[in-house]
Structures are given as structure tokens and as C-alpha cells.
Structure 1
């Protein structure tokens, strides 16, 4: 109990009473794929193909990719349906891949940024589920001791951080308003570029369930900063879903680690 109070949402405790998965359950993955390493940030050949192989092996029903590479959809052949950031938008590319039909899609067109939120309405058996793919404002810098050792550089870094947090809050409120008008049950996947202790997270989460808090274990690391196990990538689900399981993957193919959740619509909703 003491450990739970101290660690709270920073650490997930494994539930000994795990629920058995059913074929009808929905497996959802969120992954910031860093462009499938198209710019060669990871100095190792075949990273993009390894990401495709990882997704194919895990075989989720729905995949939300942040920082997508459009040419890779040709390799994800198990997904008959996809929605991507429109070509006309000068933004980082996001994609939603689905084994189920996408009947509608859209973009929130976040102002003054290359980041964005897209969504897809997916026909799931006798229901429709709205899936959001969220990529909130990036810091555009990697905070390090060097950024704070020099007075002038430290001030510039501080102002950039303040500007980033301000934009994230604005984006979170835009999302909150859009979600409020959604006519369907909702699933949210994405890279918030902020932790579960932030106001940004609280606004976006609202009354949604955090799959890690419901069924995850350990620190839930999705990003490394100064060797700290930060959790900035999430899968959130409407209360009409039961969170059956949550997985964090220790797969170093991007600057982020992928997450996957298994969800089940509750009988009261079906």
C-alpha cells in the first residue's frame, strides 16, 4: 500500500487475476516510429523493415503511427484500411491502420504547428468506434546539461519549453472540445510529449481510461530522457471498454517504445 501511494500513476502493479482474451477483443497499438528511421538517426541498417516486421508479428487490429513514412504502408499488407495526414498539410505524418472498415476520417488541423491530431471512424462489428491519433507539440530540442550551463542558452531553452507547454495546453483543449462532440465510443492513441503528471495529460484524458493504469505493470517507459523511464505515449479508452491488457515493448527501433492494449466493449454497450 505504501508503494502504491508513493508511486501512484508512475508505476503499474501487475494484476494476478488476469482476464482471458477473446477472439472478439480489439488489439490497439500506438507507436511513434520516428519516420521508420528514414533519416538514419539510428546507425543500424534495416531499422524501417524491422519496425514493419515488429508490427506484423504483434498483429494488432488497429495501429496508430506517429511520425509515419508513407511508403511503408505498402509493407503493412494485413491492413485493408488506412487514414493518413493529408498530402496538402505541411505536417509530420500520422497514420491509422485498421483491419476493420474506416467509414469516415478527419483532421483537427492544430494551428501554428507541424504536429496534429487525426481521427478515423471505424465500423467494428455492429458498432462504430472513433479512434484518435494524437501527436502533441514537440519540444524540438533534447534537454541536456549543456542547454542549462550557459546563461544565454539557458534562457532560450527556458522560453522554448514555456512556449511548448503553452501550445500543448492549447492543443489539449482543442482535442477536449472535439472529443466532447464525438457521437461514438472513443479510443485515443498517441505521443503527448508530456507525462501523466501534467495538466496536458489530465485535460486530454478526461474520463477516459489509461490502459497502463488499468492493466499495465512496471514503469511503463515509452521514452528515455537522461536514462529516466518516462511515459509520454498512451492508449486511452472510453469507459464503455474494458481494458483487458496493456503491454510495453522493450524494442529500440525508434526514440520511442511502442505500446499495445487489448480492449473489449462492455455488454451494456453492445
Structure 2
């Protein structure tokens, strides 16, 4: 009978813990953060759990050991019951009458000098103008004097009349109606614009859910203790519940075509995402490739989304992962009806 070393057994124990936690995490989208706030925090760690289990699978596979089956089984289950972390194929169909939708958290156009490059603001404008979207939803918008987005129609909503921070939707096509959901007790918000494209009206929601203020460059992610960090995250997730409820109630009243995009401050493994993505297509899943990382973080985290109605054809999706002008990467999709 083959004997295993203590190290071998310990590694398999650690593997079992990570596999079990990943398996349990598949239930997180079905549990409201208001029910068990502590559990909701783990939705942020699902991408890390997936990567860890892939590493364990590869390790045991190299060893030609049956232990590889544990992580493999959990990963296969996740592929069918959860949102995939990795897309191995993409779709790229270019039609002249596609509607190009971009979403970008611009971090106030570097107003607070997070980036050392003093030309960051101008580079963001240049990127947007060069990519030439039909519609762009901008989160963490700053109404700068240098503002240079060359799209003729816009709806800008700042948090108050006196400050310059908020959300914006710019469009090539006329905006015939617009409004704000006005989140309570939050610096974030959601706005919408009804855009007339030829003879059709398409509603675009620009979503910015409650920020979690994660900063991997700071010790304990900006808190003095892990306990305070978890409490802050719990509070953020609970706030997101009310914000998501407000969005879903509002969008249910619109019977036409709609697009929901923006910075959800949460992953595709969360309750918030599942609520907003119900009966919709995720543009990355339909036409993207790779891991879709949209947030510059210590592990792959996709928190910027473009969701559309089921009857929409998604011809292409791109994450601009080589553009480091903000702490988010811009995302863009091509849509057709």
C-alpha cells in the first residue's frame, strides 16, 4: 500500500477546503446580502477560488494523481451552474448598423491625480473619441473645464447642483428623455437615457452601485483590521440590495429595448449581478474572450458589465485591458436587432 507524506496529505486538505468553499459559493447569487451579510463578502473571492482550484488541478495532474478529480469536478459543476470565469472563444461580427455601446469608470478623469501622468484626462478623451462609440456610459464622471468628448447629445447628473461629480451618458443619437434614480445615503447613483436610433427608442441605464472602496495598495485594504474591512464590505453589499431593487423596479416599467451597463462594484457571482442579469444576456459571456478583467486588482475581477435583452444579437465584446488610465478598464460591445 502506497504511503503519502505529511506534506502530500496537508496539500490535499488545503485543496479540499478551497474546493468545498468554491462549491458552496455557487449558492451566493441566490442569497440576499440582507439575509446573511457576512456570506455576501465571499462573492468577491470567487474568481480567486476558481484560479486556486485550477492550480490544484494542474498540480495533481502533473503528479498523475486521482486527487486532481476533486477540483476538476467542482470546476465542471461551476461551468454549468455558475458564470464562467474564462471564455475560450470570442465572436467578432462587424455590421454597419451595429450600435456600439461603451462603459467606462473614468475615476474622475484623474482629478485627484491617482495617476502620475498629468495628461491622463486628455488621453481618456482621445481614447473615447478614437473608439467612436454610439453611446458611452461614464461612471465617476467629473464635469471638467477641459471636457472633450465629441458626441453631440448628453445627459449629465451630478450628485448635487453645486458639485461636479456624478454620472454621464453621451450619445451620437438624440436623447429624448432622461432621468435619475437618486440613490439615498450614497455617493453613487443610476441614471437612464432614452435614445432615438432611427425610428426605435432604446433605454440605456448607467449603473454605479455602492462602492466597496477596495484598495490593495493600502494595508488591510484601507482598514486597520480585517474585522472593520468585513464590516465595511457587509454594509456596502446591504446598500446594494436596495439600489438593485430600485433599478429592477424602474426597468420593469419600460417595455421597449434596454441596455443596463456600468460599474456594479460586484462580481458575476453575486446576488446583485444575478438580479440585474435575469432574463438578459451578458455581452462578455456572449461574445467576449479571456477572463474579462475590468478592474485593476490583485486577482481577476470583472465588475463592469453590459447587459441586454434576450432578443438582442451581440456581435462583439472587448475589454481594453491594455488601457491603464483609470482603476477600471473600459468595455465595449456591438449590438444588433
The two structures have a TM-score, normalised by structure 1, of 0.89
Distance 1:47 1:145 in 2: 23
1:179 to 235, 239, 251: 251
Deviation at 1:155, TM superposition (A): 2.0
Task: Within 5 Å, give how 1:1-270 maps onto structure 2.
Answer: 8-15=83-90, 18=91, 20-71=93-144, 74-77=147-150, 79-86=151-158, 87-88=160-161, 92-142=165-215, 146-147=219-220, 153-226=225-298, 228-250=299-321, 251-265=323-337
Deviation at 1:65, TM superposition (A): 0.5
Question: Is the helix fraction higher in 1 or 2?
Answer: 2
> CA 1:6 to 1:127, structure 2 compared with 1: closer, same or farther past 3 Å?
same
Alpha carbons 1:85, 1:118 under 8 Å: kept: yes
Is 1:91–1:113's contact at 8 Å kept on the other side of the alignment?
A: no
Larger Rg, first or second structure (1 or 2) = 2
Aligned to 1:268: none
Give the secondary structure class of the aligned counterpart of 2:84: helix
Q: Is the 8 A contact 1:173 1:204 kept in 2?
A: no
Which has more strand, going by share of residues?
A: 1
* Alpha-carbon spacing, 1:4–1:186, altered in 2? closer, same or farther (3 Å): farther
- SS of the residue corresponding to residue 68 of structure 1 reads strand
Provide structure 2 residue ranges, at least 5 long, that are not aligned to the other structure.
1-71
Note the C-alpha offset of 1:71. 2.5
Q: Kindly tell me the number of residue pairs found equivalent between the two proteins.
A: 260
* Rounded Cα–Cα distance in structure 2 between residues aligned with 1:14 and 1:117: 32
3-state SS in 2 of match to 1:27: strand
